[in-house]
A and B are shown apart, each in its own frame.
Chain A
Amino acid sequence: MKIAIIDYGAGNIQSIKFAVQRLGFEAILSSNVEEIQNADKVIFPGVGEAGSAMRMLRSTGLDKIIPDLKQPVLGICLGMQLMCTSSEEGNTRGLGIFDAEVKKFFGNLKVPQIGWNTITELQGKLFKNVSAEEYVYLVHSFYVPECSDEIARTNYGVDYSTALNRDNFYGVQFHPEKSSKTGEQILKNFLNL
């Protein structure tokens, strides 16, 4: 199986490569359009700021390629947020794959949310052998409000969509590569799609 992790200069992608490796697969880090298009599975990571991440995607032309991919694609953290219609972070227009507008946490909350929180209302193959209320690791200041593409939910001051799915596109707000055994199971489920 060919697994490509999209390398567009955003964040800690080494950890995702290692997590895939621990499951017995090899992943390549790539910004090459053909390599990404020909992979069996594509992982779209992201850590950092939405506006500058979108600029990096546009400068490499990857913003045009990603929405047309036909194989399973998994956006992680900022990767998932960039797959939405827009983000309040830097008033950024996203890739428009998921029908959701990313918002900033508000009210009397510490931001970023950093740490382990539960996932509930789990739907579909991505959560095979994962139970509701299992813990995942999250680090984020912006969130996806509950929407029709939701396949998992988390609460931090507000109930929000912590995982999304539409057609071949999946997104998780948490870091499966850092979420212990639960994260490994979710990553394994994605690779088995």
Chain B
Amino acid sequence: MLTKRIIPCLDIKNGRTVKGVNFVDLRDAGDPVELAAAYAEKGADELVFLDISATEEKRRTLAKLVLDVAEQLNIPFTVGGGISSVEDVDILLKNGADKVSINSSAVKNPDLINQLSEKFGSQCVVVAIDAKNIDGKWSVHLVGGKVPTELDLFEWAKEVENRGAGEILFTSMDHDGTKNGFANEALARLSEELNIPIIASGGAGNIQHFEDTFKKGKADAALAASVFHFKEIKISDLKNSLKNSGIPVRI
């Protein structure tokens, strides 16, 4: 049976992981390669690297990082952050990334989704969507939720699927950072209206939240950062608990 996926997300700046990573058993908690290998060992199903650096060096540092990670990691990984062209994606895939995630560039140039899925296949195109619930309407936002757009979450998600995206990574800006659980109503609607896998993101605080997002939110995968980095939730505990609740997971 196909299992539900647990995906730790690492923020990368200038080739190093940032934003408080607390893995005491590591020699260097800032080294993404070491951290990635530790997560793979602990039972993560996939990893996401989100590059938040904004230097001119970015493209070269990221390509090098991807190559180093691919050399060590025996599970799949996705790279996102500032990817805006076919050429960007070509470099990352050639260096060993399994998938790329695009967000703002897809909104600014939706045709990029078509180009990427035609050239590299849908399976490696993840479209990330950040949205906020404003007066009952889920409105798509850019730049980490700072810039609102005219787009409606569900209409945009459908368009993204039709243009060839292989997966959708949906982050609720209302839930992100709250540790109060995922946006399960919106997630369930996405899952029902679309035929591609949906990754839930934003709001993970405890094990129950993961169970809820798989059961009530009908998510195919759940992504989280701080609860894993700060060891608030151990992946092995999480998966055992999910299994006991009847959710298929890889142990």
Contact = CB atoms under 8 A, between A and B. Distances in A.
Interface of A: 11-12, 14-15, 18-19, 21-22, 47-49, 109-118, 135, 137, 139-141, 155-156, 175, 177-181, 183-184
Contacts of A184: 74
B3 interface: yes
A11 B4 CA distance: 25
Interface residues of B, number: 33
A159 to B, nearest CB: 12
B220 A14 contact: no
A12 B98 contact: yes
A14 B75 contact: no
A21 B45 CA distance: 22
A113 B74 contact: no
Interface in B39-82: 40, 45, 67, 70-72, 74-76
**Most B-side CB within 10 Å, residue of A47, A115, A139, A184:** A115
Contacts of A47: 120-121, 123-124
A43 B167 CA distance: 28
Contacts of A114: 123, 166-167, 197, 220
B196 to A, nearest CB: 6
A117 B1 contact: yes
B2 A180 contact: no
19 contacts: A12-B96, A18-B96, A47-B121, A47-B123, A110-B197, A112-B166, A112-B196, A113-B2, A115-B2, A115-B3, A116-B45, A135-B3, A139-B98, A139-B166, A141-B123, A175-B76, A178-B76, A180-B74, A181-B74
B22 interface: no
Q: Is the interface of A mostly helix, strand, loop or mixed?
A: mixed
Contacts of A116: 2-3, 5, 45, 250
B74 to A, nearest CB: 5
Contacts of B3: 115-117, 135
Contacts of B94: 12, 14
Contact of A110 (B1, B76, B121, B196): B196
Contact of A14 (B5, B74, B95): B95
A115 B195 contact: no
B188 to A, nearest CB: 14
B122 interface: yes
Contacts of B121: 11, 47-49
B2 A15 contact: no
A137 B70 contact: no
Nearest to A118: B1
A117 B70 contact: no
Q: Which 5 A-B pairs have the closest CB atoms?
A: A14-B96, A135-B250, A116-B250, A139-B123, A48-B121
A109 B196 CA distance: 9
B207 interface: no
Interface string B87-119: 000000111111000000000000000000000
Interface string B114-141: 0000001111100000000000000000
B187 interface: no
Given A12-B93, A137-B75, A137-B76, A111 B1 contact: no
B160 interface: no
B35 interface: no
B101 to A, nearest CB: 13
